[in-house]
Structure 1
């Protein structure tokens, strides 16, 4: 049975769900947050130590300003109201991506990371304003600056996921089969599961089904 330490998720389909069910993309983002809470609880139950959630990519800035503002307001409200619960559940929060948001949000993100920094049951890596290509380029720049050799070990050392094991599972909901600039270096040997359901419809049973399927996969890593 395959060990499982890290699950990464591309939470796709919120906007489409909102248009379909409430004629509002924002309604989908709000519904998607409930799914996030369910999956976090199930991740803890499954004793998985790392969960990386793709919340906002560097390409998502192309979306309408009203939608972007709504997304960040949801995030602010969630952290303001739930950071105590996150702390009490022994969850550590880490932000990966460029933190060039409003002063208020940057302050809240920094506070949330600091408050939960010593927690150990689960580490949630929240990918905000994250793009894997720029992450890899930045790692190479740092290697060059420090006059080190460009190799796999050093690239991994300068990624924002340093000291975090690569994910064994990557789930993408929303019936879309692409990686969308997410953890391109880290998922080289990750088992990828594309789920037809939109993110707000994804549930604990779907999650458990994927985990069970993963544990039965023969993982060769290039060997026979």
Structure 2
């Protein structure tokens, strides 16, 4: 599905989401309308706790909205049951988080191969694809090192390799440089940009890093539960 959906338009139509905290209902997203086209690079900025991660989780079908639709290739994603949503996430979306969430008992290579195993794919082709993407992110000499044996920057590059090994149409990154120093942050910026150019995948990055936001084609800000376009 991922390759077939390259270039497809993804739209949020009237998305709302609220949470209860201490008996108080908090409206995080309020009737959000927002669209992106294939191959775009979009930065999502805003104050801490404003709902940026919630927005990203809904785009990636990790969380269901209270109201509204997520339309991808003309289909309402949330009309599907949980099983089909899991398939959508696995084949269409790649995720990178601030904390890499690598499995510590696995090697870099095994971590990258995991999404393909979840799809039910096996064989030498899966290994070769994982080796190729790890080489692409500069880790060909670290294939068999476990996560704890890698630096912070290396761990995040493994996380990116894991996110893109399945050739997703959309890469979602939530503060991908939040725990990295300036040098490693710049390397991650460049890597995301290069992968976007090479594969045509859409890249959506939640970030407080205005340098990273400046690399993007578009910058939107979440304010008062609404998405505001920045020019």
User: One fold, TM greater than 0.5?
Assistant: no
TM-score class, shorter: 0.3 to 0.5
Indicate the structure with greater helix content: 1
